[in-house]
Structure 1
Amino acid sequence: MQQANPTPYTSSSSTWPFLGRPSSSLSSPPSTSLSTTTSGGSSSSSDGIEWIRGLAADNPVLVVGRSDCCMCHVVRSLLLGLGANPAVCEVGDEIDDETLGRELAADVEKKMLFPAVFIGGKLVGGLDRLMAVHIAGELVPTLKKAGALWL
Structure 2
Amino acid sequence: MLRNIAFNSLARSTNLVRSNASTRPFFAFKYPAFKANQSSVANDSSAEEIRSLIAQNSVFVASKSFCPFCHRAKQLLKDLNVEHKVVELDEVSNGNQLQQALKELSGQSTVPNIYIKGTHIGGNSDLQKLNSSGMLIKMLGKSKL
The answer to whether TM tops 0.5 is yes
Q: Is the 8 A contact 1:56 1:118 kept in 2?
A: yes
Structure 2 residue 64 is matched with structure 1 residue 77 = no
1:53 is aligned to 2:51: yes
Find the aligned partners of 2:59 and 2:70 in 1 and give their Cα distance. Answer: 13
Distance in 2, matches of 1:112 and 1:133, equals 20
2:51 partner letter? R
Note the alpha carbon deviations across 1:38-70, whole angstroms, 9 max, x for none.
xxx853652112202201100111111112222
**Could you tell me the TM-score, scaled by structure 1's length?**
0.57
Could you tell me which runs of 5 or more consecutive residues in structure 2 were left unpaired when the two chains were aligned. 1-37
Letter in 2 for 1:126: G
- Deviation for aligned residue 1:92: 2.4
Moved over 3 A (4+): 93-96, 99-103, 105-108
C-alpha distance in 2, partners of 1:150/1:138?
11
- Secondary structure of the corresponding residue to residue 84 of structure 1: coil
Q: Percent identity?
A: 29
| Equivalent in 105, 108, 128 of residue 111 of structure 1 | 108
Query: How far is the alpha carbon of 1:135 from its aligned partner?
Result: 1.9
Number of residue pairs the alignment of both structures matches = 104
Contact kept? 1:119, 1:142, Cα under 8 Å: yes
Normalising by the residue count of structure 2, what TM-score does the alignment of the two structures yield? 0.59
Give 1 or 2: higher helix fraction: 2
Query: Which of 59, 63, 85 in structure 2 is aligned with 1:65?
Result: 63
Q: CA offset at residue 111 of structure 1? A: 3.3
The offset of 1:150, in angstroms, is: 7.6
Q: Could you say which structure has the larger radius of gyration? A: 2
User: Aligned Cα RMSD in Å?
Assistant: 2.6
> Is this contact kept in 2: 1:112–1:125, CA < 8 A?
no
Unpaired stretches in structure 1, ≥5 consecutive residues: 1-40
